[in-house]
Amino acid sequence: MNNSRDKSTPIISLSEKAVRFVDSVVALRPAVAVFDCDDTLWKGDSGKGFMDWEIERKLIPEKVIAWGRARYAQYEQGKVGEEEMCGEMVAWHKGITIAALEEAGERYISESIDKRIFPEMQELVSRLLNAGCDVWTVSSTNEWVIRAGVKRYGIRRDHVLAVSVEVENGIATERLIRVPSGKGKAVAVRQFIGEQPDIVFGNSIHDAAMLSLARHAYAINANPDLKQIAQERGWTIYQPD
């Protein structure tokens, strides 16, 4: 981040609506902010996107690809739960080096997500960081992809709470450490951040528990289910440009 710039001047061109939104959040002077990532910081589901991307490039074994496709189809049919699926999509990388997974995460973000970043969210995070806000991200996508994605925002890798597995000798195992999804996102916030966030941003029903912790909750690019909850609870609803 360029800390010498005028912090009220956007680093990129934003619409008047976006500028008003960013200014309104910064004016709250939050000490702690928590962001969901997929469809909140950028457009699209990077968990599913990364799965399709690595399958296309055969970065995981053929037998895992066949099983994974069938399993995801069951998830789409409602036969597999959200948390279970999010965990399995990470655990099936067992036996791959972390170095290779981090490289793949960076390549995927560069090729698929960079062009879908919400500019006002990038500007907002920049200004919050410049103001000394402690910024965290919580995601049900794997940490290799999320760490690569939020690097574009200047968010520290140790402030990423995403799906992760135990590592042995630099190689991923199938033993899950955490799967922050649904109520698990709120659990992760309490466990690792340890205080009530001033502001929380999310886009779906799976962020509702985490949003409920905030002094100020923001439904960004909200799915219909979250939009209804936000309207009932008086949360701010914002649709990025």
Higher-confidence position of 46 and 4: 46
Whether the per-residue pLDDT at 7 is higher than 90: the answer is no
**Amino acid 12: pLDDT:** 66
Those residues whose C-beta lies under 8 Å from the C-beta of residue 215, and which sit 6 or more positions away, are: 196, 197, 198, 199
What is the per-residue pLDDT for 8? 44
Using DSSP's 3-state secondary structure scheme, residue 88 falls into helix
Is-contact 222 51, C-beta < 8 A?
A: no
Please report which confidence band the pLDDT of residue 183 belongs to, taking 50, 70 and 90 as the band edges.
very high
Q: Which domains does the chain have, with CATH numbers?
A: 16-238 (3.40.50.1000)
Based on the number of CB atoms within 10 Å of its own CB, is 43 exposed (0-12), middle (13-18) or buried (19 or more)? Answer: middle
% pLDDT > 90, the chain = 93
Distance CA 37, CA 29 (A): 21
Q: Residue 3: is its pLDDT beyond 60?
A: no
Q: Note the pLDDT tens digit of each residue in 190-236.
A: 999 987 999 999 999 999 999 999 999 999 999 999 999 999 999 99
Q: Are 138 and 185 in contact (CB under 8 A)?
A: yes
**165 has pLDDT over 80:** yes
Residue 231 pLDDT: 98
> For position 144, what pLDDT does the model report?
97
Q: Tell me: the pLDDT tens digits for 108-155?
A: 999 999 999 999 999 999 999 999 999 999 999 999 999 999 999 999
Residue 3 tokens read as 């800390």
Q: What percent of the chain has pLDDT over 70?
A: 95
**How far apart are the C-alpha atoms of 50 and 20, rounded to whole Å?**
33
pTM of this structure: 0.92
